[in-house]
Chains A and B, each alone.
Chain A
Amino acid sequence: MTMIQAITHTLAQAMERDPDVLVFGEDVGPNGGVFRATDGLHAQFGEDRVFDTPLNENLIVGAAIGMAAYGMRPVPEIQFMDYIWPAYDQLVNEAAKMRYRSGGEYTCPMTVRTPYGGGIRGGHYHSQSGETPFAHTPGLVVVAPSTAHDAKGLLHASIENDDPVVFMEPKALYRAAKGDVSEGYYKEELGKAAVRQEGTDVTIVSYGSTMPMSLKAAAAAGEQDVGVEVIDLRTIYPWDKETVLKSVKKTGRLVVVNEAPLTAGFASEISATVAEEAIEYMEAPIKRVTGYDTPFPYTLEGLYMPNPNKVMQAIEEVINF
């Protein structure tokens, strides 16, 4: 299955398992979504449970909060993460704080699915990685799968999670990430990273869209006898600090890769934590491989984005320090 097929299959499975799961957004109904993530769901589950909303992202998230507070498990889609910002207030001030501000009386079990990231020649309105502000919001969970298998397991876990989740789907991997996905129901635990490759010389931490390039660079380094341990965070927030610290204490070198801009991006949080809690183990400065601090460009997309060469270069820098 491709990642997009895994997502469609998981949505259908979740809707079969739980009548309170609702899917809605822009073009997700009969059309099946602009990326076809909800293909066939409208025909299978009907207009009440799978529907096109008015074109209004703030509405999509705000209405989902009301449904979730009532006990449903809404799974709204924001067509591109670049369009999530009209809903920022509802997500950050409302959904994230519903449990807290009501003293635990009301909750908000919803999963906002949204494609993110570059590599599709989408310019800045169809390419941005918007995780940083959400990973700065207590009460939210931020998830980004990098494989078809995880897309399924993490999506089930997100839908069943009793708190709001921003589920970031790396659109460049929708069809590029292919793998075995078992038909049966399973979950992948939120907040747990996966070690994709073990190694003793350098740790790479990444998630979502930048995982394939990280693995590619790790393979290239391996050919030069550099053992790279590659960690896929899977859940960006709250993140699996334990797995990362354990790894850097072993390797003493860290490269963090994400697509979002450099300054105050999530790579910075990981770097700061490692500096704060494991500096005595480090043999080299921590390197961040990220987008530049510019808006996401159209023509020069390839120049802007991290790629295997940039990751490889960072590995060399920390090895040769």
Chain B
Amino acid sequence: MTRPLTLLESRKKDLGLDLSEEDLRRLYTTMVRTRKMDDKLVLLQRQGRIGFYLACTGQEATHVGAAFALEQDDWVFAHYRDQGIPLLKGIEMERMVHQCFGNVRDNTKGRQMPVHYSFKEINFVSISSPLAVQIIQAAGTAYAMKVKGRKDVVLTSFGDGSSSEGDFHSGMNFAAVRKAPCIFLLENNQYAISVPLDHQTASDGFAVKAEGYGMPGVQVDGNDVLAMYQAVKEAVDRARRGEGPTLIEAVSFRMAAHSTSDDPSRYVPEEEYAEWKAKDPILRFEKYLLKQGVIDEDFIQSTAKAAEGEVDAAVKAAEAEQWHPEADTLFDDVYAELPPHLLEQRERMRRDVEENGMPGGHH
């Protein structure tokens, strides 16, 4: 296998990237905020304060670096391990925490499990639990952009396991055939819940699969935020020029459980974990930035402290809210307008609430 693209430990002083020092600090800060948010919310789940959580620990560089290559009007069809993207694109952490609580201020009205975000204002499309479904949808959106004559692009992300789904094939094939401006970001984190790569594919990595679809495939060090940015930027530029889609395989590692219902010590060998822990994307980037003089120890301390304060405040705000959306919202958004049978059923529900109160309670 060819070595994945890596920049961070390069001897070159100038990496040839169009990033300012402020950009570099923003990338770093976003990764730290993502890590701190994950740590806190996993803890909250353990304490029974939220029902479920999916951490992206170890994969922050992959999606934060990728998303930094996007512009305002580009769209994102992410999966449930990309929480750094909304943070990078300016979504307040508090709103994300409201979603994880599914409370009255969750913008998706308590409709989905934690981490299944939707943020229209940054073109971040509602996340699905079923794997790979968003890959085809992303290709469809990209095609629509092309038909509309726009220069925007779509980024869709998914895991190594998703590459086994038919939807991966469907989306890749369609985007390539129609030359749709779509970037397929395969986040290879070594495991699909407990299933390792060699049970997922017999191919030499995933980037090579692009060839069968007639698009370029690039393998990138997913724990190198700058390499991720550079590779995705090239793919984005290519898509904007009308040259079609690209598959990017980001090689990384899930340093967290698949979800709070999973125990990775059952299937990840200790040595493997230790090996990847040494390649922690935040520590690697930190080292690089220190060396370049872009940040100092004070900046590291204050960034960590600010991120912890941010998530603590967000949790406090979320817990102060009514734990449930209003009962009537159960019937909203099934259709644009409530059809007669749902009006009838809503009346039945209202009587139920009147007589028996709101069932359930805190998680």
B-contacting residues of A (Cβ < 8 Å)?
Answer: 22, 48-49, 51, 53-54, 56, 58-59, 62-72, 74, 86, 89-90, 93-94, 98-107, 138-139, 141, 161-163, 191, 238, 241-242
List 9 other contacts, CB 8 Å, given A59-B136, A72-B144: A51-B178, A59-B171, A63-B139, A69-B125, A70-B145, A99-B333, A102-B108, A103-B109, A104-B332
Q: Mark B159-170, 1 if CB is under 8 A from A, else 0.
A: 000000011001
A-B interface contact total, Cβ < 8 Å: 144
Contact between B144 and A70, CB atoms less than 8 A apart: yes
Scoring A64, A93, A100 by chain B CB atoms within 10 A of each residue's CB, the highest score goes to: A100
Contact between A62 and B137, CB atoms less than 8 A apart: yes
Assess whether B1 is interfacial by the CB under 8 Å rule: no
Q: A58-B166, A72-B147 are in contact. Are A107 and B336 (CB under 8 A)?
A: yes
Q: A66-B143, A89-B130 are in contact. Are A103 and B111 (CB under 8 A)?
A: yes
Name the distance in Å between A73's Cβ and chain B's nearest Cβ: 10
One of B112-120, B193-201, B249-257 at the interface: B112-120
A176 to B120, CA, bound (A): 46
Contact between B126 and A106, CB atoms less than 8 A apart: yes
A238 to B334, CA, bound (A): 12
Name the distance in Å between B105's Cβ and chain A's nearest Cβ: 11
Contact among A53, A89, A100, A105 for B174, CB-based, below 8 A:
A53
Name the distance in Å between A47's Cβ and chain B's nearest Cβ: 10
Name the distance in Å between A26's Cβ and chain B's nearest Cβ: 13
Contact between B340 and A238, CB atoms less than 8 A apart: yes
Assess whether B61 is interfacial by the CB under 8 Å rule: no
A56 to B135, CA, bound (A): 14
Contact among A62, A64, A105, A141 for B126, CB-based, below 8 A:
A105
Scoring B120, B144, B178 by chain A CB atoms within 10 A of each residue's CB, the highest score goes to: B144
Scoring A69, A71, A93, A102 by chain B CB atoms within 10 A of each residue's CB, the highest score goes to: A102
A90 to B165, CA, bound (A): 13
A22 to B146, CA, bound (A): 13
Q: A106-B125, A138-B334, A162-B336 are in contact. Are A101 and B112 (CB under 8 A)?
A: yes
Q: A139-B335, A241-B340 are in contact. Are A62 and B167 (CB under 8 A)?
A: yes
Assess whether B177 is interfacial by the CB under 8 Å rule: yes
Contact between B143 and A67, CB atoms less than 8 A apart: yes
A287 to B247, CA, bound (A): 57
From 312 to 349 in chain B, residues with beta carbon under 8 angstroms from any chain A beta carbon are 332-336, 339-342
Scoring A64, A103, A138 by chain B CB atoms within 10 A of each residue's CB, the highest score goes to: A103
Name the distance in Å between A266's Cβ and chain B's nearest Cβ: 14
Contact among B108, B118, B139 for A66, CB-based, below 8 A:
B139
| Chain B residues, CB < 8 A from A48 | 146-147
From B127, which residue of chain A is reached at the shortest CB distance? A101
Closest 10 CB pairs of A and B: A66-B140, A62-B136, A63-B140, A102-B126, A103-B108, A66-B137, A59-B170, A66-B141, A102-B118, A105-B120
A22 to B166, CA, bound (A): 24
| Chain B residues, CB < 8 A from A138 | 334
Assess whether B226 is interfacial by the CB under 8 Å rule: no
A105 to B145, CA, bound (A): 19
Scoring B137, B142, B171 by chain A CB atoms within 10 A of each residue's CB, the highest score goes to: B137
| Chain B residues, CB < 8 A from A141 | 335
Assess whether B173 is interfacial by the CB under 8 Å rule: yes
Name the distance in Å between B75's Cβ and chain A's nearest Cβ: 7
| Chain A residues, CB < 8 A from B128 | 93-94, 101
Assess whether B280 is interfacial by the CB under 8 Å rule: no
18 residue pairs from A and B, CB less than 8 Å apart:
A58-B136, A58-B166, A59-B136, A63-B137, A63-B143, A66-B138, A66-B142, A67-B140, A67-B141, A67-B144, A70-B140, A99-B333, A102-B111, A103-B106, A105-B119, A106-B118, A139-B335, A238-B342
